[in-house]
Structure 1
Amino acid sequence: MSSTSSITNVAALARVSKATVSRVLSGQRTKDDDIARRVRDAAEKLNYSANSAASALRSDTTNTIGLVMPDPSSPMASRMLAELDPIANGDNKQLLIGIGDDLNTQEERVSAMLMRRIDGLILIPPRDVDPAFLDAHAGSIPIVQVSGRSSSFRVNWVGVDENASMNLTMHHLADHNATSIAYLSGNIDSSESADLFTTFQITLSAMNLMSDPDWTTFGECTAERGYREAMELFEGKGSKPDAVVCASDEIAVGVLMALFQLGISVPHDVIVIGSGDSPIANAISPTLTSLRPPYRLLAKETMRLLGEENDGQHWMPARVAFPPQLVRRESTDSPRFGSSDMATPRSDDDSDDE
């Protein structure tokens, strides 16, 4: 029997991964627990040695990690690539990149990578879609989905805590004297948008803030939409909000453009906050306060999940959500309640995720 087939049989008999077999028999795994005992018992029954395990593991390892993502110029994709690459290099692994702006293309990229025998897969899905096809591959290699929708009970997920995002946003606006809030949400058929809207409504009530049903809209995350809806909201008659929460920086940029055209001062008359902390947030005037995903933490946790031992079947995959960082800029630079300091608050642009 060949060493490669033997390590597979040992792993099957012990109900663990081939990597666990190698680590136990080579002494790299020092725990003397039920897993280790099962591996040693299986190896003894099959007359299998530590040298064979190490050799077989090397022959099955390519030291490549597949990364499939949408438009690489998008903030999430570009920042995650920048954080993941040095971690992979430090582990003597290389990232194999695949680009797919829609789910079908991403599935094709994943299939091509699996044929090249990657050691693990990271997938950043397009906005508002659930990459359910990953379930079919969950038993063959470690997989981590970064952000986006997921209904899988087999695929690890790492992303941003959206409830924490909304709570952080609302408390920041209230701290800067906002009392009536408009909310330009993402697409209405997105579960992420639905969850954020629910949190928005709950937080409004809990903090005694006010909104109007006409001030909440759903749609594409574009500057064109932000401009159009801000013009409709602030050009007409009736009560106006003193703060606008935007589901993306792109929407917020459109809002800022409309307010400038209408002669409404930001942040003195209206304060505006975006989400994503894209490069445009620091390029527009006034600069845009935004929520920054904790990219470094997301990357570290993603690589940790890919590298950890797969010690048999789990009832549930890992699901890890990190709160975002609020990057304070000019669009919310109004005096705080109870504050005598009228100077510009410090920018959080250069602070660390950790």
Structure 2
Amino acid sequence: PPFLVVVPLSTLPNWKRELEQWAPQLNAVMYIGSKEDRKVIRKHEFDPEGRKVQLFDVLCTSYEVALTDINMLSRIKWGSLIVDEGHRLKNDKSHLFVALEGLKVSHKVLMTGTPLQNNLEELFILMSFLTKTRSREGRRGGQCFPTAQEFDEECQTKTTEEKVKRLHELLAPHVLRRLKKDQDLSILPKIERVVKVTLSAVQREYYAACLTKNFRVLCGKDKEHRTVSIKNIFMQLRKCCNHAYLFDSARPPSETDADAHELLVSASGKLELLEQLLAELQKGGHRVLIFSQFTMMLDIMEEYLTGAGLNYLRMDGSVMSEERQRRIDSFNERS
């Protein structure tokens, strides 16, 4: 029987690449696209010439397509169901949980780095999804993993240490952990350095103005809007610390591109330090990854790198998955 792999849409290209690299002998089909695209895939791969036999070995699809075409997928007897980011199934009332639980599957695998997120009940729901079986008539069959309530009843007289030990005993036959220390990564150890940077003159000006403007809220004198205002004030201060140009009024007029570039750098203590670091890193032939939580800051970085004549690639939420993978490949291939 074939394998069904259900994953986040953004990871599908990577699943395709990995299957091609590590299992080229398998016919792996990416079941995505428009309604018409999927109809063509079903015609050629699900039921070619009406023979009711699947030509594919692995079918990879997204959560959304799996939900949309669950009736089609339910007609196939699957050898295994693999769900990436399996903690998406922590709610047994969700549409995705109910849909995937109804499939005819011999074996299930949930892949997740966070099986326990909020409470034990969610973990027990994941284990319930894995261990429930179905009879030939499609009714829910036996269950070899207890419910959260049954676990609580069993351990109500136990100490916390005994409860943890019992939970580990229950999980042991079902969980395979892949630890970093067990892998031969062949990479250098990470060295983390925190460098404190002073604000530029214009950053200090805007930082002080923000504090002065919101003095009453910060001192607790405006309690009515305190919760909302404090969050907004912190966000404004974070913007000050990144770059003054995150405020439109901070950008002065300039006559030439060279002047504009110089003002751009001098308006941020972080950018002044980055300019020095990039110069040294470029001499050593290094490639550099720069992260920011603000897309507006990435816009400023693009402006700086263009002005400095440095080649760069940008990735944010607006970049489609296939293009994102191309940019990753391009970055990795550069010597």
Question: Structure 1 length normalisation: TM-score?
Answer: 0.28
- Compare the two structures and name the one with the higher helix fraction: 2
Q: Between Structure 1 and Structure 2, whose CA radius of gyration is higher?
A: 2
Bigger relative contact order, structure 1 or 2, given CA contacts below 8 A and separation 6+? 1
